Amino acid sequence: MKKIVTTQEAPSAIGPYSQAVEINGMLFISGQVPIDPDSGKIVEGGITEQTMQVMKNIGAILNAAGYQFQDVVKSTCFLSDMTNFKAMNEVYGRYYPENPPARAAFAVKELPLGALVEIETIAVKQK
């Protein structure tokens, strides 16, 4: 049965989608942009600060659903500019020091609210 996952520790959806959906031991987290859930605004700073906020938002959703970063099996990273790849990768890597998930990363023309980075995530409960 499909379960909608929401938490106030991550930003509310800015469109007709859920923060995450869990089904059959799998958690699908919608793309997270660097919105501070308290202010509802993009965090100040550059790609490092924005990636830190995105990962914090992903962590809050994982936690709300009873998952951990170790349960993540796939991420897709969208960047507004590939020159930000190295800095994004440095922050991202801190969350996956061992056995990182599969991942794709690429530049797109534009991200919501002028964000520099957006990351979507899939996690699976390990039995």
Give the CATH fold of the 3-124 domain. 60s Ribosomal Protein L30; Chain: A; (3.30.1330)
When pLDDT is averaged across residues 59-66 and rounded to a whole number, the result is 98
What letter would DSSP give residue 111? Answer: -
Predicted structure pTM score: 0.96
What is the tens place of the pLDDT at every residue in 98-117? Answer: 999 999 999 999 999 999 99
Q: Answer whether residue 36 shows pLDDT above 90.
A: yes
Q: Answer whether residue 72 shows pLDDT above 90.
A: yes
Buried b (16+ CB within 10 A) or exposed e, 10-34: bbeeeeeebbbbbeeeebbbbbbbb
According to the model, what pLDDT value does residue 2 have? 94
Q: Answer whether residue 15 shows pLDDT above 90.
A: no
